[in-house]
């Protein structure tokens, strides 16, 4: 297992272990997915250095978009961590929701309920096996549930709260393309009554906004306004969410906007505007 530190220096403060019951929101667009951020979070939590420093941490990754095989290759390639080994040590758990969303197309409420039950049972298993370990719950694109009209934003938000209260911290990755956010942007300017949005637009944007209101910080990746470039993959912006005011850590999160480049080997470089990536 490699011990190389793959976290870019500029982003290091945001990869410290999150405070208790906090929420971190990762957003991306079609052209810029935040999977590299998710892998970095998994590896920073499970890295041997972290584990040596004290309490044991467990990761429960629930993915609606990508299967276990993808995450295994992605995380091994970018950070050198072997997920199979960690899974056999009971430190990494995976719930595959890539197909569950389509299992019961007729009874829509059951999909959310069965998924939540599945997660609850995994959490109970972790709690019974490793009572001292702290669990970080990572949800990859739960907004698929909204896109497939399986549930509503409010139901999903309410269903996540009991799960979030059982784990140490939660990391959620969502899509934030402008078509998904148009309804929220209109709601804030009170234009909502004039323009009609489809249920998927409304539910997805409502969920993103609700999550950002609860998040202690939001890490957003997006494409460059000028289009794709060879030496820049996109822009990463970290802002304080509504949850930043909770607890005594208020004001600890510094906002940042920088460019990043995902290299061919999966390593990521983060640098300020005008600076060179290399």
Residues at the interface with another protein (CB under 8 A): 20-21, 27-29, 32, 152-154, 157-158, 161-162, 164-165, 176-178, 181, 183-189, 192-193, 196-197, 199, 202-203, 205-206, 208-210, 212-214, 218, 220-223, 225, 237, 239-242, 244-248, 250-251, 255, 257
CB 52 to another protein: min, Å: 29
C-beta of 110 vs 223, nearer to another protein: 223
DSSP state of 111: H
CB 233 to another protein: min, Å: 13
C-beta of 42 vs 215, nearer to another protein: 215
CA pair distance 126, 59, nearest whole angstrom? 10
Task: Provide the 3-class DSSP secondary structure of residue 6.
Answer: coil
Q: How far apart are the first and last CA of the chain?
A: 26
Strand 217-222, strand 22-28: pairing:
parallel
C-beta of 79 vs 170, nearer to another protein: 170
C-beta of 72 vs 157, nearer to another protein: 157
CB 241 to another protein: min, Å: 7
C-beta of 52 vs 189, nearer to another protein: 189
The answer to whether 57 touches 89, Cβ cutoff 8 Å, is no
The answer to whether 146 touches 153, Cβ cutoff 8 Å, is yes
* Of 38, 26, 32, 127, residue with least CA distance to 83: 38
CB 195 to another protein: min, Å: 9
The answer to whether 218 touches 239, Cβ cutoff 8 Å, is yes
* Of 214, 154, 192, 218, residue with least CA distance to 14: 218
CB 28 to another protein: min, Å: 7
CB 256 to another protein: min, Å: 8
C-beta of 46 vs 136, nearer to another protein: 136
């Amino acid at each position: 297992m490699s011990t190389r530190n793959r976290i870019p220096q500029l982003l290091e403060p945001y990869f410290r272990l999150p405070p208790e019951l906090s929420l971190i929101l990762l957003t991306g667009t079609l052209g810029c997915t935040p999977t590299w951020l998710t892998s970095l979070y998994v590896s920073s939590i499970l890295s041997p250095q972290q584990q040596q420093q004290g309490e044991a941490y467990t990761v429960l990754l629930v993915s609606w978009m990508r299967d276990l095989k993808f995450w295994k290759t992605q995380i091994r390639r970018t950070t050198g961590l072997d997920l199979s080994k960690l899974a056999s040590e009971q430190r990494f758990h995976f719930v595959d929701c890539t197909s569950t969303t389509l299992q019961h197309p007729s009874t829509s409420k059951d999909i959310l309920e069965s998924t939540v039950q599945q997660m609850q049972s995994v959490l109970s298993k972790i709690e019974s096996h490793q009572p001292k370990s702290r669990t970080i719950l990572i949800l990859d694109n739960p907004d698929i549930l909204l896109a497939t009209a399986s549930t509503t934003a409010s139901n999903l938000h309410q269903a996540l709260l009991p799960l979030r209260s059982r784990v140490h911290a939660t990391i959620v990755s969502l899509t934030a393309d402008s078509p998904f956010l148009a309804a929220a942007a209109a709601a804030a300017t009170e234009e909502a009554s004039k323009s009609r949005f489809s249920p998927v637009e409304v539910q997805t944007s409502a969920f993103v906004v609700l999550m950002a209101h609860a998040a202690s910080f939001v890490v957003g990746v997006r494409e460059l306004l000028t289009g794709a470039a060879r030496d820049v993959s996109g822009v990463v912006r970290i802002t304080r969410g509504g949850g930043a005011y909770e607890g005594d850590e208020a004001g600890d999160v510094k906002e940042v906007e920088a460019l990043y480049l995902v290299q061919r080997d999966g390593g990521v470089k983060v640098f300020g505007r005008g600076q060179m990536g290399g």
